[in-house]
A and B are shown apart, each in its own frame.
Chain A
Amino acid sequence: MKEKNDYKQAKRYGMVIDLDKCTGCGACMVGCYSENNVPFKADETNKLDSINWIRIFKITNDKPYPETETCYIPMPCMQCDGVGKHGHPPCVSVCPAVATDYDYDTGIISQIYTRCFGCRYCMAACPYHARKFNWWDPVWPADMEKYLNPKVSPRMRGVVEKCSFCFHRYQQARDKAYLEKREELAENEYQTACAEACPTGAITFGDLNNKNHAVYKLKNSPKAFRLLERLNTNPKVYYLTSKKWVRRAGDNYLTHEEPGKIKNNMKEHH
């Protein structure tokens, strides 16, 4: 909630996920688990108290064979810019202890684990269910502890965590650039683990404000849309699809409404 820094050109890191390419293999999830030391349970049957920073939803068009179609939607934290594009995501202003914050340099929403006291108000606020609570103390099978990523702090019981767009990788890249006396990061210097893990190249990551980054062009494609856009959450994760029904499933529409043809009627405010 601090004042806006006036960096000359702020970044808006974002992602474009091509749903036509996603096969639902789950490599992004595995990559994320190991990159970010995400804890798991011995029995993961109940997904409602599992922790995952990116997870894959499977949707179908509800039509009988042979018209049945399936689509997989990988969903990280959408890093919402929020109402009015002023760094006011649904989950940030609600946190009573400033344990989650909007970073004006990158547009990334942070989560400060040692500050969070677990009231879970942010979880109630996030329509994407991107926020996960540590219902248990994290435990890893004995040998696995040796493989934890030393760049990412593990979390404790009783706090909320969520996708950070691998912020530690951004920090590392910045450090390197600083030592090399550079201002700017190259596109491939900062990439998220999920984008790197995806075998079909469905996930593209970069600065949405930078005309030279792939995401800039992709997000302006006619196939692009965002999930639950009508709520004015302003997500920085875009999706591409060539299928009408997928596009329609990505938001809520009254029967007569057509996706892409709706005027946003909400006023912008702080």
Chain B
Amino acid sequence: MNETPLIPAGVKRCSKWQFSLWMAAATAVLLWGVYAMYLIWYKGLNQTNMNDAYGFALWIWADLAVIALGGGAFFSGFLTYIINKNELKNIINLAVVIGFICYSSALLILAIDVGQPLRAWFIFWHANVHSMLTEVAFCLSCYFAVLTIEFIPLILENPRLDKKPFLHHLSHNMHGIMAIFAATGVFLSFFHQGSLGGVAGVLYGRPFAFREHILIWPFTFFLFTWSAAAYGPCFTILVTKITELITRKKLVKDNVIHLFAKISGWMIITYIIAKTIDTIYWAFVTAPGFGFTLMDFYASSTYNIGLLFAEIVICGFIPGLILITKRGRENSFLLMSAIILGVIGVSLNRWVMVLQVMAVPVFSFNEWYTYMPSWQEVATTVLPVAYGIIVISLAHRYLPVFPQEKELNPID
């Protein structure tokens, strides 16, 4: 077996020592996070700077953010397998790898975040079907299983694994029914992305978070699913661009990127219009009904109205408009600016929907609550980034993640 190379045929990879050095750096950061994780599991959540007013903090934000950013996986699966946008086959592998990283990270962060990790299975066993968090937990785990299933065939395409007849057939057969898995993934994603929005939207004790309902779902349910589909692709494109920058070669053809960017752009524009309507209704109907004006929610120096402007205009309308115009998305500077703004925009939205909800005082006689994460919280939030870099590096080195790489970078 030794004669089969580990690295896919027809592509060039950096030398072993260069790769090892890179991995060592990422591993060092990872270990820092693992140490913090150990401290938290061993000593408890007193290692964080959370408190009774800030029961949800950096981690819940990180969870919501990575899940939104990982939304590129379900949305590209939807476009490729269900709407048959075949060009996207050239980027979907990466979207799946990113999704896998994002979802495994989210599950890990949740396991660190709960006060009694050994009882975490209660959320399944003693499930309260009325809780948005239950729906999140179920769909998240199921969808993680789907992502793993989508990732496996790619792993099996490694030349050395592909040699084994069973694995070769398995990869082929899994590819054959991938559309079914993708469709299940879309179904699950629709609900858990939405439920994450519902987590805040149902809190009728928190006027900053609460939104009107359609049946049992608050508006934020739909906005979260929509924004994940809209901004997820921005993150997929961003990671592609970063990988291209680091490996110093083109990995995905422009027409693929442009198509994905265009779809993302239209999703962003429609989303941000819906978000604007939601914000107006909330500011002028829902909140006054509770005795609040819009400015009551933005009366702190950290959480001022600029944040709302940044989220909706700078990180919403601007990237959306850039991406829907042909000129905009084909200009590489504008394209990069738009996708970076997009990634910031969705992360900002998740931040606001978690941390600002906690910060806003509900009693007229209370002050704004403030919070600064402890180093343990930061380290465990950086951990997934290091882990992501490691997985993507390994995947890129040993697996045919980018089908167009050979054609774009012929070795003579």
Q: Is A230 interfacial (CB 8 A cutoff)?
A: yes
Q: How large is the interface on B (under 10, 10 to 19, 20 to 34, 35 or more residues)?
A: 35 or more
Q: Is A249 interfacial (CB 8 A cutoff)?
A: yes
B:41-62 near A, CB below 8 Å: 44-46, 51-56
Residues of A within 8 Å of B52, CB to CB, are: 48-50, 123, 129, 131-133
Q: Is B357 interfacial (CB 8 A cutoff)?
A: yes
| Of A93, A96, A157, A252, the contact of B123 (CB 8 Å cutoff) | A96
20 extra interchain contacts, Cβ-Cβ under 8 A, other than A83-B204, A118-B115, A135-B51?
A1-B130, A48-B52, A91-B205, A95-B131, A96-B134, A117-B119, A118-B45, A120-B56, A123-B55, A124-B206, A124-B357, A125-B206, A127-B206, A128-B205, A133-B45, A137-B44, A230-B290, A231-B207, A252-B291, A253-B291
Q: Is A251 interfacial (CB 8 A cutoff)?
A: yes
B53 contacts A117, C-beta separation under 8 Å: no
B116 contacts A93, C-beta separation under 8 Å: no
Residues of A within 8 Å of B137, CB to CB, are: 96
Give me the 3 closest cross-chain CB pairs, A-B, nearest first: A118-B115, A158-B115, A252-B291
Q: Is B161 interfacial (CB 8 A cutoff)?
A: no
Cα distance A218–B119 in the bound complex, in angstroms:
43
A228 contacts B362, C-beta separation under 8 Å: yes
| Of B113, B119, B122, B289, the contact of A230 (CB 8 Å cutoff) | B289
Q: Is A121 interfacial (CB 8 A cutoff)?
A: yes
B115 contacts A120, C-beta separation under 8 Å: yes
B46 contacts A136, C-beta separation under 8 Å: yes
Cα distance A91–B202 in the bound complex, in angstroms:
10
Q: Is B4 interfacial (CB 8 A cutoff)?
A: no
B205 contacts A93, C-beta separation under 8 Å: no
Cα distance A30–B405 in the bound complex, in angstroms:
71
Q: How large is the interface on A (under 10, 10 to 19, 20 to 34, 35 or more residues)?
A: 35 or more
A94 contacts B133, C-beta separation under 8 Å: yes
Q: Is A59 interfacial (CB 8 A cutoff)?
A: yes
Residues of B within 8 Å of A182, CB to CB, are: none
Cα distance A95–B115 in the bound complex, in angstroms:
14
A125 contacts B44, C-beta separation under 8 Å: no
Knowing A49-B51, A94-B131, A98-B126, the reply to whether A135 touches B44 (Cβ < 8 A) is yes
Most A CB contacts (10 A, CB to CB) among B126, B131, B289, B357 go to B131
Residues of B within 8 Å of A119, CB to CB, are: 113-115, 123, 133
- Proximity bits, B367-380, A CB within 8 Å = 1, else 0: 00100000000000
A97 contacts B204, C-beta separation under 8 Å: no
B205 contacts A117, C-beta separation under 8 Å: no
A228 contacts B128, C-beta separation under 8 Å: no
Cα distance A257–B296 in the bound complex, in angstroms:
15
Knowing A96-B123, A96-B137, the reply to whether A233 touches B128 (Cβ < 8 A) is no
Residues of B within 8 Å of A197, CB to CB, are: none
A-B contact pairs, 22 of them (CB 8 A): A49-B46, A57-B363, A93-B128, A94-B202, A94-B203, A95-B128, A96-B123, A96-B137, A117-B119, A117-B120, A118-B116, A120-B55, A120-B56, A121-B199, A125-B203, A127-B205, A127-B362, A129-B52, A129-B53, A228-B205, A250-B364, A252-B364
Residues of B within 8 Å of A158, CB to CB, are: 44-45, 114-116
Q: Closest residue of chain A to B128, judged by CB?
A: A98
Residues of B within 8 Å of A230, CB to CB, are: 289-291
A:251-269 near B, CB below 8 Å: 251-254, 257, 265-266, 269
